[in-house]
Structure 1
Amino acid sequence: MVLIKNPRTLARRLMRNTGDGPLPLLALRVQKRAREEVREFLSEGGFHEHRLYVLEVAGSHPHIKIGYSSNPWVRLTQHIGEMNRWYHTLIRVHVSEPLSDQHSGRRAEDRAHGFMRRLYPAAAPSSRETFRGTDFKAGAACVDVAVSLTNYPA
């Protein structure tokens, strides 16, 4: 058995050169582990809660994706299927604390996107939810602050 010290880092490197071939086994294992961590987190707090999420996606165009869902488990499964079809894989996921309703979720999502645009003005999003050349931890912080401001307004 071979122990890999930084499987996420290695998976990111492997995915940059995948092209249109099969996804590397290590990348799929990292993706499976990330998905399992989300399942464990949601099993404690509820699968059908309004939440924001941050996905770190590796591939030829690595990026993070910030979104909202009233059913983050199902949405994550949809994202993984889409990513894998385009030869990208999931590296890490961050899921926020619950929000009260859809309106709060959308408001928090808009705030998180705004925070990311302010943190990375040169890295304009390639879509409304997708940010290339940005940091996963910064995305998670933006999401947590946006949720906190929405749940506990001053």
Structure 2
Amino acid sequence: MRNVGDGPLPVLALRVQARAREEVRETLSEDNFQGHRLYVLEVAGRHPHIKIGYSSDPWVRLTQHIGEMNRWYHTLIRAYVSEPLEDKDSGRRAEDMAHRFMHRLKYVTAPNSREMFIGTDFNAGRACAAVAVSLTKYPA
């Protein structure tokens, strides 16, 4: 394993990252990149993890996350963005709910982070985010 910032990322890692980014772009382009959404990112590297967050501009936020990941020699493997939510308050509620679901499943957050879950299954994170969005959009 290389040290942080020691050389470029491997070509295969960059291809996988580009494919994940393109899938998000296609999903977001259906709504003209608009909408408050949750996202789940699967990150490979020295400390594999998933990140569950909220953004009113998920395309810009994804770009920021990729830049930060790559500086630490981490790579985006898969990404999920939820269907749009109504507003910022509903986005924050859904994000908080998804985090609580992850904690109930006994997934551990990284130190000093409420949205980064270490050694977590991407599909579990995606399911928690999707259920949280559904419960926020369509309360019983």
TM-score (norm 1): 0.86
CA distance in 2, matches of 1:39, 1:100: 20
2:16 alignment partner, SS class = helix
Partner of 2:24: 38
What residue identity is the alignment partner of 2:109? P
Q: 2:34 aligns with which of 37, 42, 48?
A: 48
> Is this contact kept in 2: 1:18–1:60, CA < 8 A?
no
Per-residue deviation, 1:147: 0.1
CA distance in 2, matches of 1:29, 1:129: 25
Q: 1:125 aligns with which of 105, 109, 116?
A: 109
Task: Tell me the matched-pair count.
Answer: 136
Q: 1:72 aligns with which of 58, 62, 67?
A: 58
**Displaced runs of 4 or more, over 2 A:** 17-22
Q: Does 1:57 align with 2:43?
A: yes
What residue identity is the alignment partner of 2:127? A
> Residues 1-150 of structure 1 correspond to what in structure 2 (within 5 A)?
17-20=1-4, 21=6, 22-119=8-105, 121=106, 123-126=107-110, 127-150=113-136
Q: CA RMSD in A?
A: 0.9
What residue identity is the alignment partner of 1:31? Q
Instruction: Give the fraction of aligned pairs with identical amino acids, expressed as a percent.
Output: 75
CA distance in 2, matches of 1:92, 1:100: 25
CA distance in 1, matches of 2:14, 2:117: 22
Per-residue deviation, 1:19: 3.4
